[in-house]
Amino acid sequence: MASFGNAFSSSIGKKLIMGITGLFLILFLIVHCFINALIFFNDGGLTFNIGAHFMASNWLIRAGEIVLFVGLIAHIVQGARLTFQNQAARPVKYAVTNGKANSKWYSRSMGLLGTLLLIFLIVHLSNFWVVSRFTGIPTVDANGHEDLYAVMKETFKELWIVVLYTLAMISLAYHLLHGFASAFQTLGWNHKKYSPIIKALGVWYSIIIALLFAAMPIAMYAGIIN
Ligand code: HEM
């Protein structure tokens, strides 16, 4: 009889983990994007710093951060294993790859898009998370809150970082475009009436989240928000 461990290292088990952690990350990105979008108040970061302060001081959110990192690592590890497993299943490529007929290019490139996102994440966490949790935010704003907004402004003065973030957000859009509908499908939430609605919701979600995120470094670099 297959053990519990075996069930999760099977192909279906890996996809289940991808689906569950993926849905959790989809929810995280909504909250993360919404809090960050407070910079568009263009009030020198006062509103954004209130949001960031709330996130940093709320114990429930801090506990959620542990779940977030465990989920993120599980998602990355299982994603890499699935990609290698799919490649190993067909070491000799098809003579004619009529991929277009079967799936979208970004569905077949989840590994590549995910790798680009991984590079982004390493740079991103060292830009902000390491500063806010470990090395310390050097200044406070007019309300006496730690000025994470000033760290953002400083970070997005660098053109290569703005370019990296923008490219990563294009990858994120495609990654989400596949991932959103795929997560629901893997978890077996298939319904004649609701599946097309979920698919449309996924398209809107992917485009809005990626556009909003990409607008942040670009608007700061261009001086549209100060
Ligand atoms: C380009 C837009 C983005 C900006 C400006 C941004 C900004 C930030 C900031 C300021 C923090 C530190 C928050 C704090 O310590 O209170 C942070 C943390 C984090 N970001 Fe982003 N972020 C962006 C996009 C993303 C994306 C697309 C992902 C995931 C794919 C992501 C994943 C994370 C994670 C995992 C953390 C650490 C956990 C946390 O502090 O909540 N970020 N980000």
pLDDT in tens, 152-164: 999 999 999 999 9
φ, ψ of residue 67 to 5 degrees: the values are: -60, -40
Pocket test for ligand 1, best of 27, 61, 124 (most atoms within 8 A of CB): 124
Q: Most distant CA pair in the chain: distance in Å?
A: 65
Residue closest via CA to ligand 1's atom 5 equals: 216
Domain assignment present for 43: yes
Amino acid in the structure at residue 175: H
Mean pLDDT is lowest, of 12-16, 178-182, 199-203, for 12-16
Ligand 1 atom with the shortest distance to the CA of 56: 16
Cα of 123 vs centre of ligand 1, distance in Å, is: 11
Residue closest via CA to ligand 1's atom 23 equals: 213
Residue closest via CA to ligand 1's atom 8 equals: 128
Give the C-alpha separation, 73 to 76, whole Å: 5
- Using the predicted structure, report yes or no on whether residue 88 has a pLDDT greater than 80: no
Give the C-alpha separation, 30 to 27, whole Å: 5
194-221 and 11-36 helices, crossing angle to 10°: 50
Domain assignment present for 70: yes
pLDDT at 80: 85
Degrees, nearest 5: CA angle 167-98-116? 20
Domain assignment present for 97: no
110-124 and 59-89 helices, crossing angle to 10°: 150
User: DSSP assignment, residue 96?
Assistant: S
Give the dihedral sign, CA 116/182/104/81: positive
Of 7 and 48, more confident: 48
Give the C-alpha separation, 177 to 197, whole Å: 14
Give the dihedral sign, CA 163/164/167/172: negative
- Using the predicted structure, report yes or no on whether residue 28 has a pLDDT greater than 80: yes
Amino acid in the structure at residue 100: K
When pLDDT is averaged across residues 79-93 and rounded to a whole number, the result is: 73
Cα of 32 vs centre of ligand 1, distance in Å, is: 6
Residue closest via CA to ligand 1's atom 3 equals: 213
Residues in the chain: 226
For residue 225, the SS3 value is coil
Cα of 2 vs centre of ligand 1, distance in Å, is: 39
State the total domains in the chain: 1
Please give the structure tokens belonging to residue 201. 């919701």
What domain range includes position 148? 4-90+104-221
Closest CA to 113 of 76, 163, 67, 88: 76
The whole model's pTM is what?
0.86
Cα of 147 vs centre of ligand 1, distance in Å, is: 15
pLDDT at 2: 46
The CATH number of the domain holding residue 75 is 1.20.1300
* pLDDT per position as a tens digit, 106-149: 667 777 888 889 999 999 999 999 999 899 999 999 999 999 99
